[in-house]
Structure 1
Amino acid sequence: MTRTPPHREEPGWHSIQIRYHAENKDDLILDAVHPLLTALADAVDQPHLLRHWRRGPHLRINLRTTPQLWAEVVRPTAQRDLTAYLHDNPSTASLREAEHLAAHRRLAVREADHGPLTPWYPDNTVQFEPHEDRQHVLGSPALAGLLADGYARSTALTVDTLAGVRSGAVDRVGHALDLMFAFGHLSVPPISRGYMSFRSHVESFLGYTADPDAVRSTFDERYHRHRPALRDRLHTTRAIVAGSRRDPLVEAWLEIVRRQKALAEPLFTSGAIDLDHLDQRGMELRHRIEFHDILRETTAHRREVLSQVWFRCHRLAINQLYSHLSRIGIVPTQRYLLCHLVARTVEEEYDISPVALARQFVNDRR
């Protein structure tokens, strides 16, 4: 008599959400999430954490495991350990749901997030909503898998960075600047070219604000206050990228960038993934962006830059950089300020004008 082999369960994605309204989540990550993932190491694959806002500020722990392990090990362990931590170390933030609704509606449009915005879950609680694969935005399982791989590979680095911040060995904002400068040196060298994405992103942010001149003035004041230190970071990170200076946290991130771009290149080349689904829709700029308008005068910019595989790999990597900055506690408004600080530093160091560069690009192709 032939025996039927036992059914082998295939692992799938699951999600754990920790509602924690306090802005600083370092201790939650270091003292609750990290020990939980360590305890579950043999039961889960590709665990990673993301910060999210919908239905109240929270951390999402995404991971792969089998249905049996999820039901018998992962979910009950997470419920027990996280609930105990929240009981002993509760968030004491006092946020009013109604005051955040307008901003969350805008975020939902920008991020194409179709989930419910209200009611918020109570602070200091744990939920197990279904995992969101975001394929309606990402366009393919291949891109979703590539991003998840990058998130998972940077989870240990996130923990190490936050441990350094808590001990005082790492300055959170300074480290974020180092990552951005180093990325500019590495991804599309030289940085006088690679920095342009940061300038483009901060200009897009300003284009959505009610008073871009006032915001730019505030950003410029911060730049002038820290100009010498920023210039030092520009040159220090160039040495790190070149291998003549050590910074283990920055170097570890650069290795993740190199790996992700190497994995992405054949996928972009074959058409297995693209980034067209990531283009923002539904948000109207309040103000024009001069150098963007200049580049649109010709199809050459899209043909020679935006549609090229090297640029798509760069774009993917910078999106993952921004996600990593979020995981180490840099909020979006801070990130745009940092984009401006990096861009102003490079522009002053190399005497660059983004408008002049755009005009030269267009004129050279006429």
Structure 2
Amino acid sequence: MSDPVDGQGPVTAWDVVLYHYQPDKARALREAVLPLARQAGAEGLAAHVERHWRFGPHLRLRLRGPEARVSGAARRAAEALRAWAAAHPSVADRSDEQLLAEAAAAGRAELVAPPYGPLVPDNTVVAAPVNRSAEQALRSLIGAESAELREELLRTGLPALDSACHFLGAHGDTPQARVQLVVTALAAHATAHPDGLVGAHYSVLSHLEDFLVHEDPDGSLRAGFERRWERTGRAVTALVGRITEGGARDWERDWAHWSANAWSLAERRLAAGADLGGRHAAYRERAEALGDRATAERWNAELRTRYSEFHRLLHRSDPDGAMWHRPDYLINRTGTNGLYRLLAICDVRPLERYLAAHLLVRSVPELTGHRWQALLGAPEAAGAGAGTGQAGTDGTRMNGTRTDGTYMEGAA
């Protein structure tokens, strides 16, 4: 708790959690959770929304403010969510055993240690003070300044979440609509980068290539992504070009505004001395604690041997890793991680995000003529899906990332 604010008592935080096992949660967000977040904000409380899977898939409304007010607001929000869940109950499509198996896989991917159960029953609503040990675990992993900025980016993301969920609803909450949402959000995100689309797409490329080198050993995913590009590339290029040239419309503007604000917030925090670099030893320790050899190797540079062509060539061009400490890298990584977190809240599956990343990356040479293979000396393969990269001669810089940090918290 902090010092009293305006004589209203100490500041505290409560979580209101809706366990909603149905995979698509956009309706719950549109009709229940996001309106409650807006209401709390109108009442002078800090509010944001998160999504997680530990102890059962759920949406989490976090309220922060004077203790006497926030506890009452949390209880009222819980009652409203219970009424909504009773009228619109979630219908699970997986057994408890499947959910726990998926949680174990997600735990390895996101470095969240067991236990993952017991599962809280579907359609349960719980309101309680925030788990301080979970907050501290997050701070120990990414640093106090990054944890505070993470929460601020979630708070400022409410309008973007709201507009995205309404866009999805208007298009049937379909996978195609979610992919369009991600392409749009990534293009809007590029408008915040000082080097535009060329500068902004490197973290997207890095995440994509790291995913494929680990999860696509036979190349079938990349081939499928490329087939989608062949069918939709012209429309994707037109969409990305319009938005990156400043032509965002309607709901798209909310994402462009969020990204510009995210860059500004991260830039100011970094200039004030905040450490936005994360604690890499803590990531490695978490990975080792899971007891899974492949996970431990992936997070330990001394053990890891599997890298994408992009990352091998990137390391060759920057063997000392100077880029990891540059302000533009740290600022862009912070904003991009926040963007991925928002997209995950509004139902975007990992494969949908990586497909959208592939489509955006493939549009870059069409729009800018820029190819990372040419810069880094890679052979230009026909249909090289993920390959557009970093300029050096035009003033932009390479901007890979180690992890997207989409969740990276163990709280329920």
Same fold (TM over 0.5): yes
CA contact (8 A) 1:150 1:320 kept: yes
Partner of 1:222 in structure 2?
228
- Contiguous gaps of at least 5 residues in structure 2: 1-5, 288-294, 299-304, 379-389, 394-412
Change (3 A) 1:348 1:25: same
Give TM-score scaled by structure 1 length. Answer: 0.85
Deviation string for 1:183-238 (max 9, x for gaps)?
A: 23431524233322211111111122153511111111111111111111122112
Partner of 2:146 in structure 1?
143
CA contact (8 A) 2:63 2:74 kept: no
Asked which structure has the greater CA Rg, the reply is 1
One-letter amino acid of the structure 2 residue matched with residue 345 of structure 1: S
Partner of 2:301 in structure 1?
none
CA distance in 2, matches of 1:120, 1:77: 24
SS in 1 for 2:230: helix
Alpha-carbon distance, 1:138 to partner: 1.8
One-letter amino acid of the structure 2 residue matched with residue 50 of structure 1: E
CA contact (8 A) 2:164 2:346 kept: yes
Give TM-score scaled by structure 2 length. Answer: 0.77
Deviation string for 1:222-271 (max 9, x for gaps)?
A: 1111111111112211222xxxx341333232222222222222432454
- Contiguous gaps of at least 5 residues in structure 1: 1-5
Length, aligned pairs only: 352
Partner of 1:346 in structure 2?
364
One-letter amino acid of the structure 2 residue matched with residue 137 of structure 1: L
CA distance in 2, matches of 1:345, 1:38: 36
Partner of 1:3 in structure 2?
none
One-letter amino acid of the structure 2 residue matched with residue 312 of structure 1: L
CA contact (8 A) 2:193 2:199 kept: no
One-letter amino acid of the structure 2 residue matched with residue 213 of structure 1: G
SS in 2 for 1:187: coil
Partner of 1:273 in structure 2?
275
Change (3 A) 1:35 1:353: closer
Change (3 A) 1:114 1:45: farther
Change (3 A) 1:188 1:108: farther
What percent identity do the matched residue pairs reach? 22
> Which structure is higher in helix share?
1
SS in 1 for 2:14: strand
Alpha-carbon distance, 1:36 to partner: 2.7
Residues 1-366 of structure 1 mapped to structure 2, 5 A cutoff: 8-41=8-41, 43=43, 45-71=45-71, 73-114=72-113, 116-128=115-127, 130-131=130-131, 132-133=134-135, 134-140=138-144, 142-168=145-171, 171-209=177-215, 211-240=217-246, 245-277=247-279, 281=284, 282=287, 283=295, 284-285=297-298, 287-299=306-318, 302-303=321-322, 305-359=323-377
CA contact (8 A) 2:19 2:56 kept: yes
> Higher mean Cα deviation, 282-291 or 144-153?
282-291
CA distance in 1, matches of 2:324, 2:171: 41
Alpha-carbon distance, 1:121 to partner: 0.7
SS in 1 for 2:269: helix
